[in-house]
Amino acid sequence: MSAHAISPSIGTQLHGRYRAVRAATERLTEHLSEADCVVQSMTDASPVKWHLAHTTWFFETFILEKAVPDYQPVNPAFRFLFNSYYNGIGDKHPRPERGLITRPDLAQVRSYRAQIDERIGQAWLHGHLSSPQLLSLLEIGLNHEQQHQELILTDFKHLLSKNPLQPTYRAHWPLVPVAQRREQWLHYDGGLVQIGHRGDDFAFDNESPAHRVFLEPFELAAYPATNGEYLAFIDDGGYQRPELWLSLGWDAVHARAWRAPLYWSQQDGQWRVFTLHGPMPLDPSAPVCHLSYFEADAFARWSNAVLPTEAQWEHAAQRALASAAHGNFADNNLLHPVAAQHERPLNAPAQLFGDVWEWTRSSYDAYPGFTPAPGLVGEYNGKFMAGQYVLRGGSCATPAGHVRASYRNFFPPDARWQFSGVRLTR
Ligand SMILES: [Fe+2]
């Protein structure tokens, strides 16, 4: 997974990061009830309790079992119950039935977390975690838990949206000033460019190897598309015009009766969106989100534009010297995309990082020379390289510091429950 070796001195820092990442998960979920954490709203989403247990299972299965001599599991049944998709580990509980796991209860799962944290601490003390291979797996485990922190928010939002009372995850709406802006395009000469992960910091295996890609000249939108722009597409009959849609997209529009992005609803002629802070009036200046790939693609065609390739996106991010340290990430606690808060840097795109994941038109595929991470954790990314599209840049539900220019997220083209938006190119 990780493309680099980790020295033991970095291991000491990793233990501090372990505690910080685990505590962040607790903070996200500590105010939720037992019932909040058990129900599964759809097959794609998992209950909060399952996320809490599965991230813990990862550390127990991939690290403690290997690191600690004669390791005895906290509960042997958890190896099956909280395995997500690792066939090399053994049997797993069916994903669509995760909401049926009422036992162990939430307190037992929280206790499981505490016991594994204790055992990881003991393993540090006894020097069981000093090998570069185990430290590398630990770093994967931390990045894995951060991915599940985002899924906790997106899955829980979906669950709340199914409740007619439209309850909130956090009951305050962070009022932020709205910047109006107009359509702007940035020019890129293209040519032979390099994409993929370089350097010594952590990256997932699917970001490597770095390699060259040829780009024709292109223009990239300075901002992600807004709710106002998407509303113009809807008002122009976007969902009723077959010429705008891919065949599979047109099928999805009809089979699922799509008339607007997920979580949009109309009341007395006014559009509202369901957010983690409850239902809110639609902000026309904020980035549009909860689009499928098909909707992003149809909107692009209506706009006389296309979606960027992931190479175009990454090249623009490199050129902008955009730092993934800045952006509307989950740590802001806005938990919703908002209009650009600052002046855009000269000749650089705004909001590349944070707010919304941006669909690209690149199929999620192996880079030339890709090799999955060694061992059972090699199932993490590589085996999903069929039938999905790449998204870039992170969202308002992504933990700050988790993404980078080379980071590749991926979802099937009909997925809408992530904070997924669109930036146009032409
Ligand atoms: Fe996972």
- Average pLDDT on 254-275 reads 96
pTM, rounded to two decimals: 0.96
**CA–CA gap between residue 236 and residue 243 (Å, rounded):** 13
The stretch 347-372 carries a mean pLDDT of 95
Predicted local distance difference test score (pLDDT) of residue 246: 98
Task: Give CA 185 to chain center in angstroms.
Answer: 26
Ligand 1 centre from 155 Cα, in Å? Answer: 13
Over residues 319-347, the mean pLDDT reads: 83
What digits encode the pLDDT tens for the residues 163-222?
999 999 988 776 565 666 667 999 999 999 999 999 989 999 999 999 999 999 999 999
Q: Is residue 3 scored above 50 in pLDDT?
A: no
Distance (Å) from CA 411 to ligand 1 centroid? 14
Using the mean position of ligand 1's atoms as its centre, give its distance from the Cα of residue 80 in Å: 14
Kindly give the distance from the C-alpha atom of residue 162 to the centroid of ligand 1, in angstroms, as a whole number. 24
Centroid of ligand 1 to alpha carbon of 277 (angstroms): 26
Q: How far does the centroid of ligand 1 lie from the alpha carbon of residue 305, in Å?
A: 35
Distance 302 CA to ligand 1 centre (A): 36
Q: Residue 400: what are its φ and ψ, rounded to 5°?
A: -55, 140
pLDDT per residue over 284-313, tens digit each?
A: 999 999 999 999 999 999 999 999 999 999
What per-residue confidence (pLDDT) applies to 322? 60
Q: Are strands 278-281 and 270-275 parallel, antiparallel or unpaired?
A: antiparallel
Residue 409 has pLDDT above 50, yes or no: yes
Count of CA atoms in the C-beta half-sphere (13 A) of 119: 22
Q: What's the rounded Cα separation, in Å, for the pair 208 and 196? A: 5
Alpha carbon of 141 to ligand 1 centroid (Å): 9
- Cα of 146 vs centre of ligand 1, distance in Å, is 10
Helices (H) and strands (E) in the chain, counts: 11, 11
Instruction: Using the predicted structure, report yes or no on whether residue 25 has a pLDDT greater than 50.
Output: yes
The answer to whether the beta carbons of residues 113 and 18 sit under 8 Å apart is: no
Mean pLDDT within 72-91: 93
Task: Quote the pLDDT of residue 398.
Answer: 98
Q: pLDDT per residue over 49-77, tens digit each? A: 999 999 999 999 999 999 999 999 999 99
What pLDDT sits at residue 343? 75
Other beta carbons within 10 Å of 46: 22
pLDDT score at 1: 40
Sorted by sequence, the CB contacts under 8 Å of residue 410 that are 6+ apart come out as: 364, 384, 388, 389, 390, 391
